Amino acid sequence: MTLNALAAMILVSALFSPQSYEGEYQPIIDESARRDPFTLLPVSVCQQAVMDEEAIILSWQLGGIIGKASDRRVWLRMPDGSWIAAAPQSALPLVYWQLERIQARAAIFSIKESASQLCKSRHWVELKLENPS
């Protein structure tokens, strides 16, 4: 008998031999360690840069929308008071997010396709115009 055949027989006998144990049944996986597959992974597991940029977008204020439905632009106010004019897919100070579309009273940002596999984050962020007081 070869060494490989002997190792295979030992492995098979170990896998299929009845095992006796004392006490109650102990599950292989601790129930508290199971994760709900429908919830997002914790931030510590997620790509931090994507989450940081999402926070940046949420700090912006949509100041105005100009143009026709087919050619709209938005004015975005930064936390420091400066303004950025942007159009869909235009260059923004973001790496992972883009301005996807502009609606009548909202700007919709989405995670770029290249970054969508990096992080289980929201897939879009919406900034709305505030109602004038």
Looking at 2.60.98, 1.10.150, 2.30.30, 1.10.3470, the CATH number of the domain 48-128 comes to 2.30.30
pLDDT in tens, 29-80: 555 556 666 665 554 445 777 888 889 999 999 999 999 988 999 999 999 9
CB-based contact 76:63 (threshold 8 Å): yes
Q: Tell me the pTM.
A: 0.58
First-to-final CA distance of the chain: 89
The alpha-helical segments, DSSP class H, found in 2-132 are 3-16, 48-59
> What does the pLDDT average to over 8-29?
57
What's the pLDDT score for residue 125? 80
Mean pLDDT of the chain: 76
- Give me the residue spans of the domains in the chain: 48-128
Within a 10 A sphere around the Cβ of 53, how many other Cβ atoms?
Answer: 22
Strands of 83-86's sheet in order across: 61-68, 71-77, 83-86
